[in-house]
Structure 1
């Protein structure tokens, strides 16, 4: 195993990727941060605190969790992962945004219909241990390096396609909210003068907020959960049924589905995410998250796409730092913020997420179908976009697996022979 220092280009034979030197100090952080990057971090939080939180609430409702347990879950996925995001992004000077596995949350929601909450907590802990061991072995980085990037990005495009479709549907179903956001986004994007001072996505956010206020569509519910979130500790119970049902699928959703997307998005944006360190961090943080009743940690794909949507590559880490700090605040005040976020119309969130994801979707299509492995990429995209669910494993895994199989069978000429002196960089095919 070798790692490359971003600043010096030096190669070192180590399992754990080393952070760049010199370390990121307060003076450099203050110089690199800006309105554009702070806006991308805020958009990442808005995305994470709306639809994904709704998935947690739905999963908890399926399992009969009370308000305190749900608040503790949300506290864990925001506060703990916010701390990890800030620490890793500053250490590696890359936008490394950590969140939680949404497919895994859906899986847990299904399991809670017949498993107890302590049994699920036990599965969370076992999953964290398995992910940590796999990261320490170095196998994850080797596996990711062996997968052709066009197929990975086609899978990512299949996942991100939903955001584009939801954007179009929002404009058609709720033009009073969505249309002003799209118009402002296009105007600010087309004008160099306007876009220099206000990022287009921030303009869309403000326009949407004004539209919601003018139409009187902001409808918060009665707040009965308080203001501050308090962690709830649940003693784990380890049963063969829960371990067999959840551990392997949860690990797959973290390592293949979520981290695969995150690494692919960051690599396409010109970064070199530390795959092994990221995997180990996801495992260790999953152990901590399990203690407060939160699902496993992952390097999220959609949020990192938002964090790298614009700006200079070497300054994009500040967007992740802003996202992480906002996530910590959101987690501490989870009951209050969840009530506010869920009070906005669905079209507001769909339009904001769709506009923010357009560049990432464009880049995914360009990488997937711009060179080799196009048949495997096409199959990966179609299968992922079709959104099948088999063996309690989501579409992204099956899209990636089917694309690789098809490419191995039909596109042998696109797989270049590798020699010990001609290896692809970590995280690249």
Structure 2
């Protein structure tokens, strides 16, 4: 009994970590998968796949290394998919790109030079690309207020109130408000929910591999996942005194990404922002016991994965503009952080601005998405401005 009581604290910390992580951004995942060609059932399968693989990754890493290591789906990666849209080859080509992403993450673990190459991309350019990708999604709450005020106003007001009172719960409670809006609209319309929509199921897709999807989806997805999730995740864990084993973490998340890809999962990675919920002293005063929170997070994700079809059905049945508003609000923090890091260094500001504008434009050239061309543009502008110049003291 003396040992059981203290364990309730890290267990509850893990449950909260999973609830906040899932409800804050599942709409972004479904939006991204749908944008690259997934049907509603394939999107639901993808949400189930990433829920199960990241839950398993949490349990394996936390249990094996006795650290509160948590995994998450790549929210920036899902936003990238939403901004990219359909590619040549459709959904099977997108699935092939997810497999390539998993292979690249695995290769990062096996070949350190690849990780070093990614690290050489200036953070300002990587963050500017992410900010440009996020911009159209972050505008959804604003446009939604005009297109469907009765549905979107309650969501935005709920988010705003709790952004002041309980910031951690602002987006989950905005999702609760959206659920109420959906329920009211169904009652008014006299519609009934098909029970078959609530049953989780895996829908496998045979992947195809195209150059456009590899360059336009896989490469940017890999870069934003590494730069915006894995690297910050390592840093956040280090700030709480934990040295996450890099190679095993990349092996587990890369393998999880590859396993989940045929079912529609886009990518999993180390948690970044939500990592602090399980690793901070609030989870447990004893750092050596916080690994329990990591295991609890993983188990909670597995349970939430069983509800993935219900969450997908909610998105499918929602009135116009309501769910995009929730997804946009969920990305406000990531957008602000990306903009700040992109323009923080005055010497890197012009290349970052070029990167941001190309990414935000959404233009696709030769079947390749704007995210890739944004990286090219930013690196080109930076090379023209800095090559041959002596570094400033």
TM-score by shorter chain over 0.5: yes
Aligned counterparts of 2:15 and 2:44: Cα–Cα separation in 1 = 32
- The structural deviation recorded for 1:107 is 8.4
Of residues 23, 28, 44, the one that matches 1:43 is 23
Aligned counterparts of 1:330 and 1:410: Cα–Cα separation in 2 = 49
Aligned counterparts of 1:175 and 1:155: Cα–Cα separation in 2 = 31
1:54 is the counterpart of 2:27:
no
Aligned counterparts of 1:401 and 1:315: Cα–Cα separation in 2 = 43
- Equivalences for residues 341-420 of structure 1 within 5 A: 341-372=315-346, 373-411=348-386
Aligned counterparts of 1:151 and 1:397: Cα–Cα separation in 2 = 12
Aligned to 1:135: 109
Aligned counterparts of 1:121 and 1:183: Cα–Cα separation in 2 = 37
Aligned counterparts of 1:231 and 1:81: Cα–Cα separation in 2 = 16
DSSP 3-state at the match of 2:38 = helix
What RMSD, in angstroms, separates the aligned Cα atoms of the two structures? 4.6
C-alpha distance 324-226 of structure 1, shift in aligned 2 (>3 A): same
- Equivalences for residues 292-311 of structure 1 within 5 A: 292-294=262-264, 296-299=266-269, 307=274
- The structural deviation recorded for 1:151 is 1.9
Q: Which has the higher mean CA deviation after the structures are superposed, 352-361 or 149-158?
A: 352-361
1:195 is the counterpart of 2:166:
yes
8 Å contact from structure 1 (residues 59, 109) kept in 2: no
- Equivalences for residues 171-250 of structure 1 within 5 A: 171-190=145-164, 194-195=165-166, 199-216=169-186, 223=194, 225=196, 227-231=198-202, 242=209
TM-score, normalised relative to structure 2: 0.71
DSSP 3-state at the match of 1:97 = strand
Can you list the C-alpha shifts for 1:34-90, whole angstroms capped at 9, x where unaligned?
Answer: 85x45532433532454134336x3359xxxxx6x7765554333223322554577
1:79 is the counterpart of 2:52:
yes
8 Å contact from structure 1 (residues 78, 331) kept in 2: yes
C-alpha distance 247-398 of structure 1, shift in aligned 2 (>3 A): closer
Aligned to 2:131: 157
C-alpha distance 217-72 of structure 1, shift in aligned 2 (>3 A): same
Q: Which has the higher mean CA deviation after the structures are superposed, 399-408 or 167-176?
A: 399-408
Aligned to 2:286: none
Query: How many residues end up aligned between the 2 structures?
Result: 370
8 Å contact from structure 1 (residues 60, 70) kept in 2: yes
DSSP 3-state at the match of 2:331 = helix
C-alpha distance 85-157 of structure 1, shift in aligned 2 (>3 A): farther
Can you list the C-alpha shifts for 1:255-278, whole angstroms capped at 9, x where unaligned?
Answer: 224433334665797868876555
Q: Which runs of 5+ in 2 are unaligned?
A: 1-5, 284-289
TM-score, normalised relative to structure 1: 0.66
- The structural deviation recorded for 1:386 is 0.8
Can you list the C-alpha shifts for 1:347-386, whole angstroms capped at 9, x where unaligned?
Answer: 3222222223222222222222122311111111111111
Aligned counterparts of 2:278 and 2:99: Cα–Cα separation in 1 = 38
Tell me which of the two structures has the higher relative contact order, counting C-alpha pairs closer than 8 angstroms and 6 or more residues apart: 2
Can you list the C-alpha shifts for 1:262-309, whole angstroms capped at 9, x where unaligned?
Answer: 34665797868876555433432243235x543553439xx956x479
Q: Which runs of 5+ in 1 are unaligned?
A: 1-24, 62-66, 418-429
Can you list the C-alpha shifts for 1:315-344, whole angstroms capped at 9, x where unaligned?
Answer: 699999787556534544544442233112
1:285 is the counterpart of 2:256:
yes
